[in-house]
Amino acid sequence: MTDQFNPWPEDPTPNNEQHCKRCGLYTHGSRMIWGEGNPSAHIMLILDNPGERENREGKEYVCGTRQTLHKAAYDVGFNQDDLYVTYILKRRPKRAYDKPKTRSICIEHLYEQIENKQPKVICCFGNVACAIIF
């Protein structure tokens, strides 16, 4: 991994989901992040929700957790072409929210992604991702 950290490319949010308001997280002001890395990868990593990925001007930057995940992937021989990262929640919560209701709505997007992408391996990171998937 180089000294200059480069975020993996984002998988664009599908047009029919870009303005989804069903879970209510749009009121938090965070943008929707569908996934990142290679959408055709055989390995899907599922995290609870996106980290803080943009600043007030909307320019991307990557939080420490994501840098650690990328570094760990590179250290074991993976690169962005090998992995696809997605989330249970597609928006970053910025304040309290109805967790059970929101997760039950947002998980539908994830199940659709899994069905469409058909990964061979799914790895969950975070207690919410593990509890919901397994």
pLDDT for the residue numbered 3: 47
Res. 2 pLDDT band, cuts 50 70 90: very low
CATH of the domain at 17: 3.40.470.10
pLDDT tens for 50-70 read 876 544 445 555 566 777 888
pLDDT tens for 59-100 read 555 566 777 888 899 999 998 899 999 999 999 898 999 999
Rounded to an integer, what is the distance from CA 27 to the centroid of its chain? 19
Residue 40 belongs to a domain: yes
Residue 82 belongs to a domain: yes
69, 45 in Cβ contact below 8 A? Answer: yes
Bridging pattern class, strands 10-11 and 35-37: antiparallel
Residue 45 belongs to a domain: yes
- Domain encompassing residue 111: 10-133
Number of folded domains in the chain?
1
> Closest by alpha carbon to 73, among 110, 29, 38, 100?
38
In this structure, of 31-35, 65-69, 104-108, 112-116, the range with the lowest mean pLDDT score is 65-69
Residue 5 belongs to a domain: no
pTM: 0.86
Q: Average per-residue pLDDT in the chain? A: 85
Residue 1 belongs to a domain: no
pLDDT for the residue numbered 101: 94
Residue 3 belongs to a domain: no
Rounded to an integer, what is the distance from CA 6 to the centroid of its chain? 16
Residue 89 belongs to a domain: yes
Task: Please calculate the CA angle 37-55-19 and round it to the nearest 5 degrees.
Answer: 65
Residue 4 belongs to a domain: no
